Amino acid sequence: MKKRMIFLAAMFFLISQSYPQNFEKLERCNAFDKNWRFHLGDIKGAENPAFDDSNWRVLNLPHDYSIEGSFDSTYASATGYLPGGIGWYRKEFRLSPDDKNYNYYLQFDGVYERSEVWLNGRFLGRRPYGFISFYYDLTPYLNFGDKKNVIAVRVDNSDVADSRWYTGSGIFRHVWLYKKNRIHVANWGAFVTSHFVNKKRANVRAVTEVENNTNDDKLVKLQSIIIDSEGNVVGQTESEIIIPAGAKHEYDASINIKNPRLWSIEEPYLYRLVNKVYDGKLLADNDTVNFGVRTIRFDANEGFFLNDKPVTIKGVCLHNDAGPLGSAVPVREWESRLELMKEMGANAIRTSHNPPPPELLDLCDRMGFLVMDEAFDEWKIGKKKWIKGWNVGQEAGASGLNKYYSQNGYGDYFEEWAKRDLQDMVRRDRNHPSVILWSIGNEIDYPNDPYTDPTRDNYEPWRPPAFELTEIAKRLYDYIKEIDTTRPVTAALANIPLSNEIGYAQILDVVGYNYQEQYYQRDHARFPERKIIGSENGDSYSAWLAVKNNPFVSGQFLWTGIDYLGEAGKFPSRSNTSGLIDLCDFKKPGFYYRKSLWTDEPMVFVSVTPPYDTLNRFRFNTVESWNWDNYKEKELQVVAFTNCDSVRLLLNNRMISTKKLSDAEDAMIFWKVKYESGELTALAYRNGKVVAKHIIKTASEPESIILKSDRSSIEADGKDIARIEIIVVDKNGNRVPYADNIVETEVVGEGINIGFGNGDSKNLESFKSNAHSVYRGRARLFVQSNGNKGKIIVRAKSKNLKPGEIIINAN
> In sequence order, which residues have a C-beta less than 8 Å from that of residue 471 and are 6 or more positions away?
none
> In sequence order, which residues have a C-beta less than 8 Å from that of residue 734 and are 6 or more positions away?
697, 699, 700
Q: Is the pLDDT of residue 5 over 50?
A: no
Name all contacts of 157-160 with Cβ < 8 Å and 24+ positions apart: 157/66, 157/84, 157/85, 157/86, 157/87, 157/112, 157/113, 157/114, 157/130, 158/84, 158/85, 158/86, 159/84, 159/406, 159/408, 160/66, 160/75, 160/76, 160/79, 160/82, 160/83, 160/84
Question: From CA 567, how far away is CA 574, in angstroms rounded?
Answer: 8
Domains in the chain: how many in total?
5
Name the phi and psi angles at 797, rounded to 5: -140, 160
In a domain, residue 798? The reply is yes
pLDDT value of residue 611: 85
Residues belonging to the active site: 443, 536
Q: Which amino acid is at 729?
A: V
Same domain, 132 and 92: yes
The percentage of the chain sitting over the pLDDT mark of 90, rounded to a whole number, equals: 88
pLDDT in tens, 771-786: 999 999 999 999 999 9
- CATH number, position 717: 2.60.40.10
Closest CA to 477 of 379, 354, 361, 408: 379
In a domain, residue 781? The reply is yes
In a domain, residue 359? The reply is no
Same domain, 156 and 72: yes
> Which string of DSSP letters, residue by residue, matches 266-314?
S-B--EEEEEEEEETTEEEEEEEEEE----EEEETTTEEEETTEEE-EE
In a domain, residue 304? The reply is no
Q: How much is the mean pLDDT over the chain?
A: 93
Question: From CA 350, how far away is CA 444, in angstroms rounded?
Answer: 16
Same domain, 405 and 504: yes
Same domain, 153 and 187: no
Same domain, 690 and 719: no
Burial of 501 (0-12, 13-18, 19+ CB in 10 A): middle
CB distance 580 to 562 below 8 Å: yes
- CATH number, position 116: 2.60.120.260
Same domain, 235 and 211: yes
pLDDT in tens, 177-192: 999 999 999 999 999 9
Same domain, 167 and 193: no
Count the Cβ atoms, other than its own, within 10 Å of residue 545.
14
In a domain, residue 310? The reply is no
Domain range for 135 is 26-96+104-173
Same domain, 230 and 152: no
Q: Can you tell me the mean pLDDT for 758-778?
A: 96
In a domain, residue 491? The reply is yes
Last residue of a domain, one of 512, 546, 572: 572
In a domain, residue 199? The reply is yes
Overall residue count recorded for the chain in this entry: 811
Query: Confidence class of residue 457 from pLDDT cuts 50, 70 and 90?
Result: low
pLDDT in tens, 683-725: 999 999 999 999 999 999 999 999 999 999 999 999 999 999 9
Same domain, 499 and 415: yes
Last residue of a domain, one of 267, 291, 315: 291
Same domain, 165 and 188: no
- CATH number, position 423: 3.20.20.80
Q: Is the pLDDT of residue 620 over 80?
A: no
pLDDT in tens, 140-182: 999 999 999 999 999 999 998 999 999 999 999 999 999 999 9
Same domain, 693 and 708: no
In a domain, residue 39? The reply is yes
pLDDT in tens, 635-659: 999 999 999 999 999 999 999 999 9
Same domain, 148 and 246: no
CB distance 296 to 487 below 8 Å: yes
Last residue of a domain, one of 640, 663, 697: 697
